Amino acid sequence: MYSLSPPSRAQGWSFWWKPALFVLVAVAGLYYVKWSPYYLKSFLAADKHSIGASILDDNHDAPITAALSYAKVYFLAIWKAALLAVILGSLLQVLIPRDWLLRLFGRAGFGSILRGGLFALPGMMCSCCAAPLVAGMRRQQVSVGAALAFWIANPVLNPATLVFMGFVLGWGFTALRLVAGLVLVLGVSLIAQRISGPEEIPEPAQEAVAEASSPDPQNFLGRWTRSLWQLFWSTIPVYVLAVLALGAARVWLFPHVDGAMGNSLLWLVPLAIAGTLFVIPTAAEIPIVQTMLALGLGMAPAVALLMTLPSISLPSLLMLRKDFDAKVLVAVALLTMLIGVISGLAGALLL
């Protein structure tokens, strides 16, 4: 068990102002970007049984036009959350004592994974917006399982999305998403933790204790600027390029839906794969699935999309390429596809 003596009176304010500043920025940012807009949107969902049109419903056939059109709509929807995530991911590395993070999320076990999932719930980020925060956690030696649970739980167990889903699609969809989401968050994180192998946590923990009791050799602004710059360049450029590529690829990833697309594996598996790789804003899977069901998509592939579209995406996987082993990210993608297929089959039987 990691331990650290409480700060002395001599340290006083100099010790506590950093975590307090992080909490202040996080609460203010999340209220502005997530909590207040989602609270208002919940009334729209309850009244109209809709939260807007499908982000895929623009019928572009030319890849370049489709790429530019989708990128514009997508980035207008998420830029505030993405900016907040980069700021929080960089501040996490300079404001939160590393030993605090290690005591909460450092062990390669179920407890750390569970705490990672629980701490994600207030964030309500999409997979790409959560990625910079996850990168910041990993650079502070947070365990693979806890970081993955935080990453996947942000979009999959998003409380606002679950409420929207209940009002728009029905509470049966919400219940299935919640159960399958818990399996996805906890199960995939546990398996990925085992795949990653043992992590050298004790030594970083000892270093963190030593660092916490010694004065910071570099001023806060300098450390934060460096952390912000490194995090931005390791995540955002590849993010933009991947979104453009997927915007073009959606011409082939999501074919025209008609009544002939039933519950067969012919559509279930490809759409589970497409949903895992494709990128969407928070809760955009709801109008996508609502529209596709109205056009005749079978329940099994619809539920598969409902699970896989928000969970992870190719851009978010690429954003975290330096923070997890490739085998871990590949395993997460494959397991997400598998759970999407199984959830689709369950949905066809239960909904």
From first to last of its 351 residues, what are the pLDDT tens digits of the chain? 444 444 544 455 556 889 999 999 999 999 999 999 999 999 999 999 999 999 987 777 788 998 999 999 999 999 999 999 999 999 999 999 988 999 999 998 999 999 999 999 999 999 999 999 999 999 999 999 999 999 999 999 999 999 999 999 999 999 999 999 999 999 999 999 999 976 655 444 445 444 544 445 458 888 899 999 999 999 999 999 999 999 999 888 887 666 566 677 788 999 999 999 999 999 999 999 999 999 889 999 999 999 999 999 999 999 999 999 999 999 999 999 999 999 999 999 999
pLDDT for res 251: 83
Nearest partner of 341 among 264, 249, 254, judged by Cα: 264
pLDDT for res 131: 97
State the residue for tokens 């739980």: 153
pLDDT for res 51: 96
pLDDT for res 93: 93
pLDDT for res 26: 97
pLDDT for res 296: 86
CA dihedral 72, 76, 78, 82 (to 10 degrees): 90
DSSP of 75-140 = HHHHHHHHHHHHHHHHHHHHHS-HHHHHHHH-SSSHHHHHHHHHHHTTT---HHHHHHHHHHHHTT
* Amino acid found at 193: Q
pLDDT for res 13: 57
Map residue 62 onto helix, strand or coil: coil
Beta carbons of 4 and 77 less than 8 angstroms apart: no
pLDDT for res 11: 52
Structure token pair of residue 300: 């099994």
DSSP of 211-240 = HHTS--SS-HHHHHHHHHHHHHHHHHHHHH
Query: 326-350 vs 265-277: helix axis angle to the nearest 10?
Result: 140
User: Whole-model pTM?
Assistant: 0.91
